[in-house]
Amino acid sequence: MATKQEYEPPSIQHLKAFGVSNVRLFCDAHACSHKATIGFEALNRSDQTVFSELRFRCSKCGSRSVSVQPEWPSHGVLYQVTVS
């Protein structure tokens, strides 16, 4: 059923459905640039957790300004968008 709904932010469950199993973390603090990759299993969060609500703290410098991105599978095309 296609009903008009408000945009639903992707949850961990949505991202898993797209083949994502890890998140990449980038510390935004100047002169730190610590990077890490962590698996959803290690996060120990519910699959219903909205991805954009995940919050992290840099383990190197303690900054709370950490960018979070899904680690998209680097090979294969999951879907294509055709623009006419």
Q: Does 12 bind Zn ion (CB under 5 A)?
A: no
Site membership for Zn ion, residue 38 (CB under 5 A): no
d(CA 37, CA 22): 6
Interface residue with Zn ion, options 13, 49, 63, 65 (CB under 5 A): 63
Q: Which stretch binds Zn ion (CB under 5 A): 8-16, 22-30, 42-50, 75-83?
A: 22-30
What tokens appear for 77 in the block? 């095309």
Q: Are strands 22-27 and 66-70 parallel, antiparallel or unpaired?
A: antiparallel
Interface positions with Zn ion (CB under 5 A) = 27, 29, 32, 34, 58, 60-61, 63
